[in-house]
Structure 1
Amino acid sequence: MTSAPSTAFLPPGLLERLGGLELIAKTVVRGFQAGIHRSPLRGAGEDFAKHRDYQQGDDVRYLDWKLYGRTDRLYVREFEERSNLQAFVVVDTSASMEYAGAGGVTKLRYASYVAAALAHLMIGAGDSVGLAAFGAEARLLLAPRARSGHLHDLLLSLERLAPGGSEGAADVLDRVGVTMRRGGRVILISDLLEDDGGEALAAAAGRLRARGDEVMVLRVLTPEESGEAAPDAGLFFDPEHPAREVPATPRLDPGYARRVGAYYAALADRLRQRGVEYVPLSTEQPVEQALVAWVNRRRGA
């Protein structure tokens, strides 16, 4: 499996100059599809049910030629259509998502790019997609639908998201579980900066998995936060708890990146133990490239 060359992908800062999310989503999906042959986010489609004798007027596309070769009789394959899969994209709009690295887009904007592209892919595959958010409060913004015009409504809702608050993810995940049909898909996009280290989040995600839902957690972080491009000396504070000021020099602190890595590694372990997929993303990476890399990792696994 080969991906499109990295030069074909637009950096997030340049992607932002295209305009609204509708055009950005189309651009990302086009780049993604150029780098991958088949999306792992396929719709439910149809299940083979049984054979029956061919009758004049039947669609010849459904003739089973292999069976004809063995029996010298014409049979038609009948399919049972499955109901379309229900999915929710859950976006973190807490205050920490307003942070942007040097020359980059905010984590919330990057999360919106990813959410828009995935919604575009899933609705295109025939799935019903809903939208939820958490930050100031847990909000179910749009119920899962696949009708014409729903993608436009979903992208418009994403455009209107604004950062604020410090609400964790657990409540909104539980509310999604109550609303959504069992056996669906939940995609959480967040920086995962949770006050309890993510224990409540992991427990809520585990409850969704116990229902039979597919759960993916996409962690969005800037290079400065991850330690890849740690900032110089300064007075730092948590935007969700602005009174907690900490003087620090992350660039000169050899343990900074290690502590950040340990936090996310522990949270990733909690999620994986519950059967939840964990995907680290960087706001520096082109969205199309990140999605292609994710799909290739999935297939390799």
Structure 2
Amino acid sequence: MSSSAEKYLKPDVIRNVARLDLRAKFIVEGFLSGLHASPFQGFSVEFSEHKRYAHGDDPKDIDWLVYAKTDRYYVKKYQAETNITGYLLIDLSESMAYTYRQELTKFEYSICLAAALAYMMVHQQDPVGLITFDQKIQASLPAKSKRSQLANILAVLAKTKPTGPTEIAKNLQKFAAMVKTKSLVMLFSDLLTDSKPVIDAIRMLRYAGHDVIIFHVLDEAEVHFPFTGMCDLRDPESDQKMLVDAAGIRKEYLDALHEMRETYKKSCRTVGADFVELDTSMRFDTALVEYLSQRQARF
């Protein structure tokens, strides 16, 4: 394992890389470096467009170079079998700009992950598109697999900022009306809104034939509530402020957060969607493994 490459999976390290294209490249290279020496070695082979040899496959298609490295039989997949269309959906809610003591805001963490996933998909020749939204869709790039698509996606992400209120459910419905190709839909959001309409929209996407991964991105402080004493808290979307005793509300807050995430996890599991809990202190490979797991399951 190359520790020099793998260090870029850490948010505090990637923060020192200014350009988003390099962030994406370094995250993916660090991820693959780690996979080669991990229990997920099969995913690194999957990334190279191979699949495990199975009864009925033609033995002449066995890749003997891969066999020499892994001591397992893999065959090269044909391109027609391996394409998966993906869409990255980025929530531009003002609350995504929050950070307490981490180097990256929730939004910056999300676009680093989205950029890395776009990098992976384009290099696998998978069509990938991008949707950014707040109360309405702000940017929409149809899914394409050309190398130039990566530059297009990165250009939009690099100039996008979280701005104000958001309408997650409404924009998921708009997306479903826009995109007729069955796709892998990857939503990046803190989900700080009423959960029922969002869950209904996720169910609708699944019924339309889309695969769905919800990347629930929270700030590390929102997950662990490290505050002490009297705290002045502000709702970034309503701008309401309140002075609270941190010790007095800690348990109530953490219980509410747990209940929220459990509601989403249970609802997603019921309809066959994936719900991935992330916070801004976590290494990026948690999300990348989830994406490759989804991808592998489709074939």
CA distance in 1, matches of 2:46, 2:246: 38
CA distance in 2, matches of 1:128, 1:296: 15
* Aligned residue type for 1:34: S
**Identity, % of aligned pairs?**
24
Secondary structure of the residue aligned to 2:103 is coil
Match of 1:249 among 245, 259, 265: 245
Secondary structure of the residue aligned to 2:266 is helix
What does residue 214 of structure 1 align with? 211
What does residue 70 of structure 2 align with? none
CA distance in 1, matches of 2:128, 2:292: 23
Instruction: Work out whether residues 94 and 135 of structure 1, in 8 Å CA contact, stay in contact via their aligned partners in 2.
Output: yes
Instruction: Work out whether residues 43 and 84 of structure 1, in 8 Å CA contact, stay in contact via their aligned partners in 2.
Output: no
Which structure 1 residue ranges, 5 or more long, are not aligned?
52-59, 64-77
Q: CA, structure 1 residues 185+161, in 2 after alignment: closer, same or farther (shift >3 Å)?
A: same
More helix by share: 2
Instruction: Work out whether residues 216 and 278 of structure 1, in 8 Å CA contact, stay in contact via their aligned partners in 2.
Output: yes
Secondary structure of the residue aligned to 2:89 is strand
Secondary structure of the residue aligned to 2:200 is helix
Instruction: Work out whether residues 229 and 247 of structure 2, in 8 Å CA contact, stay in contact via their aligned partners in 1.
Output: yes
Deviation for aligned residue 1:42:
6.1
CA distance in 2, matches of 1:7, 1:262: 37
1:42-121 alignment, distance < 5 Å = 62=61, 81-82=80-81, 84-121=83-120
Task: Provide, for residues 129-177 of structure 1, a one-character-per-residue CA deviation record: whole Å limited to 9, x for no partner.
Answer: 1111122422342111111211011011111111112122112222222
TM-score (norm 1): 0.78
CA distance in 1, matches of 2:288, 2:79: 31
CA distance in 2, matches of 1:98, 1:150: 26
What does residue 190 of structure 1 align with? 189
1:282 aligns with 2:290: no
What does residue 28 of structure 1 align with? 27
1:8 aligns with 2:2: no
What does residue 57 of structure 1 align with? none
Instruction: Work out whether residues 215 and 287 of structure 2, in 8 Å CA contact, stay in contact via their aligned partners in 1.
Output: no
1:122-161 alignment, distance < 5 Å = 122-161=121-160
Instruction: Work out whether residues 91 and 134 of structure 1, in 8 Å CA contact, stay in contact via their aligned partners in 2.
Output: yes
Instruction: Work out whether residues 138 and 172 of structure 1, in 8 Å CA contact, stay in contact via their aligned partners in 2.
Output: yes
1:225 aligns with 2:206: no
* Aligned residue type for 1:188: L
Q: CA RMSD in A?
A: 3.6
Which structure 2 residue ranges, 5 or more long, are not aligned?
36-40, 63-76
More strand by share: 1
CA distance in 1, matches of 2:273, 2:192: 17
1:232-243 alignment, distance < 5 Å = 232-242=229-239
* Aligned residue type for 2:272: G
Instruction: Work out whether residues 89 and 186 of structure 2, in 8 Å CA contact, stay in contact via their aligned partners in 1.
Output: yes
What does residue 180 of structure 1 align with? 179
Between stretches 30-39 and 117-126, larger displacement belongs to: 30-39
Secondary structure of the residue aligned to 1:9 is helix
Aligned residues: 272
TM-score (norm 2): 0.79
